[in-house]
Structure 1
Amino acid sequence: MSQPTYVIGHQQPDTDTICSALAYARLKQAQGERVVPARAGELNPETQFVLDQWDCDSPTLLTDASGERLILVDHNEYSQTVEGARNAEIAEIIDHHRIGDVMTSNPIRFRNEPVGSTATILTELFDDADEPLSEDTAGLLLSGLLSDTVVLRSPTTTDTDRAVAKRLASVADVDYEAYGKRLLQQKSKLGEKAPRELVLGDFKEYEIGTHHVGIGQVETVEPAVALDRRDAVLEAMDELVVERTYDLLLVLITDLLEEQSELLVAGDQTRGLSTAFDIEIHERTATLPGVLSRKKQVVPPLETALDSPA
């Protein structure tokens, strides 16, 4: 029997990455391919809620991809891939982020679009294949789309995302606004998470020039739950800077109702942040009005700041 292909998203998986892996595996399976949906980490409460809502099993946990055949969804940077990806065969990439550093030996299918979610692109791929969407697959894709675009409020949201969301909601037979509110409630369940868990719950690593950077994000309708533990979170960030040798570590505490973020800062490479974000950093904290998106509103100015001469 031929080797299976794993459809897998990034480490610290979010709802878009999990739902995209599940949906694309279903499309590939419908086309007769031997594929397995996989994940590179544990599920967060929002994603578990989604899988329960649509009666879907969790993807297979893949801890080491060495020697495996992979389709990457929702990322294309080695700093975010499952362990062993450098020693795996990358067969395909479907993503909506900046072009990263994943290298392949042969030409592959690489679909990258400036939309709000990978789920949006996958809906288009179902259309391209003339493959009908089942109610539960539409529900999974809608969940990924609404989660990543903060129910279409994020500045990453495009007209394509809005049109796709309405269509998916119709197929899934849900009111996307009402369903989106339920997702936001699940996303906000910070509970008794330890400070380190808050930092790493939704976390991505980047190589920006010669700098090793980590950016975490806590999206919530109750930011005080995290901000009340600010000192402990900063202490956890300092520990991670030493442990993982980050030049810069940022954490965004994003208020989904007020549509702004509190920025917490750690590391040596903080030069230029005030100018890049037009903010005042006081006691390693700053307010970022209107900032909801790590991808669109944080990474680009950060690249400018770190690439600027001293």
Structure 2
Amino acid sequence: MSQSTYAIGHQQPDTDTVISAIALARLKQAQGTDVVAARAGELNPETEFVLDRWSVDSPTLLEDATDEELLLVDHNEYSQTVAGAREATITQVVDHHRIGDVTTGDPISFRAEPVGSTGTILTGLYDEAGVDIDEETAGLLLSGLLSDTVVLRSPTTTDTDREVAERLADIAGVDYEEYGKELLAQKSKLGEKSPREMVLGDFKEYDIGDDVLGIGQIETVEPETVLDQRDAVIEAMDEVVAERGYAVLLVLVTDLLEEESTAFIAGDHTEAVGDALDSTFTDREAFLPGVMSRKKQVVPPVEDALK
């Protein structure tokens, strides 16, 4: 069976990871390389809205990447990769997170930048390759950028993100603030999700020595929808910890309008994690004013505390 080449993001895919896979596959195709855009899980309501808005088909669902060739976007840690990634050939990485544990047998193109979204980096890659960004691709890239930076409000946002957002919005023919409000409304749709689905909907694992840290994030403009179910959410977290053996499991309920989060905790090290976040967990809940970014404001201090 011949090897296929897939551009693919992390498990529990969000908008930036799905859009980045599509955009990188399109760039490679424009350069004469046959690459298929793929996803490692089901789409969330915001991403479904974006694909419908720009009339783009959903990427291929890849359930096992064993013996395939992969171009990783928006992640570079095995704990977040598609199943079978350790038995795949990884030939490129485009990411805006910390450098993780993905290793390769040969030198590869590895692009990691401290910006707010992978879409921002990909816009630069199009420029460097001399490939024009059409209206549809600009709309997709803008969607990923606005989603990951919470419409340029996240502390991860850089001047480069702002410049790229303005440019992409101009190409796509949209007002990025107005379009961003539409995305926030979609991001907040929890629908009939169970507490477990809320915990694992936007979820990432981090290997820290012999321990594993799990962090879920629920971004919403109606945080009370989740906070009113705190006991059921914490019960679901306990079940996940028992199943997966996490040292710590955090769930951030992020209020996109007030730009703050409430954290729930399961597992061990409650006091150490609270200290790391400059807060105190009372009845397994802590208030985190100004905290919106899992990547920048939560993972680094908690990782240091667990080490």
Structure 1-normalised TM-score? Answer: 0.98
Partner of 1:213: 213
Mapped to 1, the partners of 2:111 and 2:2 lie a distance apart of 25
How far residue 2 of structure 1 moved from its aligned partner, in angstroms, is 6.3
How far residue 54 of structure 1 moved from its aligned partner, in angstroms, is 0.2
Partner of 1:14: 14
Mapped to 1, the partners of 2:284 and 2:4 lie a distance apart of 47
SS at match of 1:298: helix
SS at match of 1:261: strand
Contact 2:271 2:280 in 1 (8 A): no
Letter in 2 for 1:274: G
Mapped to 2, the partners of 1:209 and 1:67 lie a distance apart of 28
Structure 2: runs of 5+ lacking an equivalent: none
SS at match of 2:251: strand
Mapped to 1, the partners of 2:4 and 2:82 lie a distance apart of 16
How far residue 3 of structure 1 moved from its aligned partner, in angstroms, is 3.2
Contact 1:272 1:305 in 2 (8 A): yes
SS at match of 2:295: helix
Contact 1:271 1:305 in 2 (8 A): no
Contact 2:280 2:286 in 1 (8 A): yes
Q: Does 1:32 align with 2:20?
A: no
Letter in 1 for 2:56: C
Per-residue CA deviation, residues 261-297 of structure 1 (Å, 9 max, x unaligned), is 0000000232412211111210000000000000000
SS at match of 1:272: helix
SS at match of 1:6: strand
How far residue 184 of structure 1 moved from its aligned partner, in angstroms, is 0.1
Contact 2:262 2:288 in 1 (8 A): yes
Mapped to 1, the partners of 2:67 and 2:158 lie a distance apart of 37
How far residue 4 of structure 1 moved from its aligned partner, in angstroms, is 2.7
Letter in 2 for 1:88: A
Partner of 2:73: 73
Per-residue CA deviation, residues 205-230 of structure 1 (Å, 9 max, x unaligned), is 00112211100000000000011110
Q: Spell out the pairing of 1:237-276 with structure 2 (5 A cutoff).
A: 237-276=237-276
Q: Spell out the pairing of 1:101-116 with structure 2 (5 A cutoff).
A: 101-116=101-116
Partner of 1:286: 286
Partner of 1:203: 203
Q: Does 1:46 align with 2:46?
A: yes
Letter in 2 for 1:239: E
How far residue 112 of structure 1 moved from its aligned partner, in angstroms, is 0.3
Partner of 1:136: 136
Mapped to 1, the partners of 2:303 and 2:193 lie a distance apart of 30
Runs of 4+ with deviation above 3 angstroms = none
Letter in 2 for 1:45: P
Structure 2-normalised TM-score? Answer: 0.99
Q: Does 1:191 align with 2:191?
A: yes
Mapped to 2, the partners of 1:207 and 1:199 lie a distance apart of 19
Partner of 2:85: 85
How far residue 50 of structure 1 moved from its aligned partner, in angstroms, is 0.1
How many equivalent pairs are there? Answer: 307
Mapped to 2, the partners of 1:62 and 1:269 lie a distance apart of 36
Partner of 2:177: 177
Contact 2:270 2:281 in 1 (8 A): no
Partner of 1:166: 166
Letter in 2 for 1:286: A
SS at match of 2:174: coil
